[in-house]
Amino acid sequence: MPFVHRLRVRFHECDPQGVVFNAHYFMYFDVALTEMWRAAFGSYNTVVDEGTDIVVVEASATYRAPARFDEEIEIELGIARLGATSMTMSAAVRREGDLLVEGRLVHVFVDPTTMAKQPIPDRVRAGLAPYSISSE
């Protein structure tokens, strides 16, 4: 089941056309990811302090409809795949159930000190399991 984070579009996130500027959707994905980690582990820093961090290696978005200032939107993140050292997430932004943006993010797990790729710890796998949307 995907993780869902709700937020209200702020004025400074909109472009002169009055819609959310495209790059802000990646910030929304990141905010939702931070909140997912808070729900799963207490905070993002808890996992980093235990010796694991993540870095984005791929990000994409398909825009279906605009969001506008002061609208409440939902950002959904689901774990589509947990590999040996990486995870693939599906993202969706919705307004009252209507799909606005679809996204895909790939993160690699790294040692926060050396930034060397590392296997996903069992504790992290277990914490992320509730947000799996994979049929595997």
pLDDT in tens, 14-53: 999 999 999 999 999 999 999 999 999 999 999 999 999 9
3-class secondary-structure state, position 89: strand
Tokens 């995907």 correspond to 2
CA distance 66 to 52: 35
pLDDT tens-place values along the chain, 136 residues long: 899 999 999 999 999 999 999 999 999 999 999 999 999 999 999 999 999 999 999 999 999 999 999 999 999 999 999 999 999 999 999 999 999 999 999 999 999 999 999 999 999 999 999 999 975 5
Q: Distance between CA 108 and CA 122 in Å, rounded?
A: 15
**pTM of the predicted model as reported, rounded to 2 decimal places:** 0.93
How far apart (Å, rounded) are the C-alpha atoms in residues 91 and 75?
A: 7
